Amino acid sequence: MSSLVARRRTPAARTFEARDRRPVSAVANVVGFALVFTAAGLAVCSAVELLTDDEAVVALAVPALLSVVLGTGLWKGTRVPDRVSAASAFAAVGWTWIAISAVGALPFWWSGMLPALDDALFESVSGFTGTGATVLTPIEGNGAGLLLWRQATQWYGGMGVIVLAVAVLPLLGVGGFELLRAESPGPTSDRLAPRVRDTARRLWMVYLGLTVLIVVALFLTGLSPYDAVAHAMTTVSTGGFSNYDASIAAFDSAVVEGVLIVSMFAGAVSFALWWQVLRGAGPRALARSSELRTFVTVIAVAIAFVTVVLALDTGLGVVSALRGAAFTVVATMSTTGYATVDFALWPAAGQLVVLGLMVSGGMAGSTSGAMKLFRVQVMVAHARREMRHLLHPSAVLPVKLSGHVVADPIVSRIVGFFVLYVVLAMLGTVLLAALGADLVTAASAITSAIGAYGPALGDVGPTTTYLNLDRPSRAVLVVYMLLGRLELFTLLLMFVAPVDSLRYHLHVRRRRLSR
């Protein structure tokens, strides 16, 4: 983590930097830009509030002003160093999410929509991390601008403001790949272009394009322009917030549900894969992806299984069972978290399927949370290889997916991620249980939080809110939502990496003094 990524500089650029007296800080620079970008969304939502119900205009406009002033000061008042270390990249990503979550909570708090600051912060973190867990009740009846901001937090967090920062901050240069790798959703960051900035821009182009397509599709189903935009933002980001208490069940429309199923599926597919399709590879690119084939297979099998369980154990008709199963399975595996039925009332077999899909998640490089299907595939392939090694100890057996060899360092990193994921999930379950939650609620709430899903089982099912947990429990979940969104390592290494770097430099200095 102490390795540095150098950037090429022309003599003219080096001369300019020598004259630039601004403080050097990649962290402050990126955090500043993210705050300015966030202020734009707050300003739009304050305008919507002014046009519809001006009661909360100040609660949106003042945070927008604070965000743009503070962000501009940090962004324009600092410059990116000539070398961007991995430690700085992790710190920039981690502190950016903390900063925008804090600013994003202010409208909820100042408007009185969530009078307690900790509840407002919970809602904001849930939004930016794309989790979808909520403490807001009732949802309906609040200002249109406030609710749109609640939806917008998930859209911001979906692709990530850091990816946008890499796209528009040319000073980050090649070093920006450290930020892209630390922030982008998935175990790997595929370059879609030789320049990192172009890669990030293309990811955002796909993200924006899908958002527009979903808005149009929802509008054609009969939704109002406001509802279409609000739900498109939380669908493409696989977040799951709705501006209705009953979530998607409020529409009671099979057509709307069908459009959302396709849209949630699209959001859970790798954006790099969508770019290949748009670039002319067409259906061949989709057919070549073993991860996509596995994704489709798991969804199909899960829908069939849950449909049978519901039809046999609950007495539902096949059509009703299929409708509820299809929507819930896709919403769960994409980690969107929309609800049309209360799966907490399903038979145990159906609940176990939902819990398992929460852990798996969608494809690497998508906006979905959880472990990602790519990691699950690698873990299975790695287990198969180790079993074969027991029979053939001297054989060279690489891990392969889609005919391509997965490098051993990546396999090792995924195994480490899996172990850390399981340990943290167990620790979180114990903490919530110790704080008073029953075992089903504790285990499912932690699984949901670290997997960025939202609704869980027990006391925090789809028809209830996280107010059923006490404040200390919700504080634990805030940390777990950030851990899950930032792929575990980023949030941990933003604190560990600087300490490790300091220890390394002290060690080098002691060795020099000893000579």
Q: What is the pLDDT of residues 81-90, one digit of tens each?
A: 666 666 777 7
Q: What is the model's pTM? A: 0.86
State the average pLDDT over residues 231-243: 94
Look at the block and give the residue holding tokens 């007495």.
315
Is position 421 within any domain? no
Higher pLDDT, 365 or 302: 302
Look at the block and give the residue holding tokens 């990496």.
497
Domain that holds residue 32: 11-281
β-bridge partners, 84: 5
Q: What pLDDT score was predicted for residue 498?
A: 58
Higher pLDDT, 115 or 21: 115
Higher pLDDT, 230 or 164: 230
For residues 432 and 458, is the Cβ–Cβ distance under 8 A?
A: no
State the average pLDDT over residues 182-193: 49
Question: Distance between alpha carbon 366 and the CA centroid of its chain, in Å?
Answer: 9
The 10s digit of each residue's pLDDT in 424-446 is: 999 999 999 999 999 999 999 99
User: How many C-beta neighbours within 10 Å does residue 431 have?
Assistant: 18
Look at the block and give the residue holding tokens 């459009």.
259
Q: Which of 465, 457, 468, 473 is nearest to 138 (CA)?
A: 465
Confidence band of 508 (pLDDT split at 50, 70, 90): low
Indicate whether 304 pLDDT > 50.
yes
Is position 313 within any domain? no
For 351, the enclosing helix (H) or strand (E) is helix 348-360
Is position 277 within any domain? yes
Is position 242 within any domain? yes
Which DSSP category does 278 fall into?
I
- Burial category of 85 from C-beta neighbours within 10 Å (exposed 0-12, middle 13-18, buried 19 and up): buried
Is position 400 within any domain? no
Secondary structure tally for the chain: helices H, strands E = 21, 4
Q: What pLDDT score was predicted for residue 329?
A: 96
For the range 494-503, what are the long-range contacts, defined as Cβ-Cβ under 8 Å and sequence gap of 24 or more? 494/90, 494/91, 494/93, 494/94, 494/95, 495/94, 496/1, 497/1, 497/2, 497/86, 497/87, 497/90, 497/91, 498/87, 498/91, 500/1, 500/2, 500/87, 501/1, 501/2, 501/85, 501/87
Phi, psi (degrees; rounded to nearest 5) at 404? -110, 140
Give the span between the Cα atoms of 150 and 141, in whole angstroms. Answer: 14
Quote the percentage of the chain above a pLDDT of 90: 49
Residue type, 27: V
Give the span between the Cα atoms of 409 and 405, in whole angstroms. Answer: 12
Q: What pLDDT score was predicted for residue 3?
A: 38
Number of domains in the chain: 1
Is position 212 within any domain? yes
Q: What pLDDT score was predicted for residue 169?
A: 46
In sequence order, the 6+-apart residues with CB closer than 8 A to the CB of 95 are 27, 31, 494
Is position 276 within any domain? yes
Is position 245 within any domain? yes
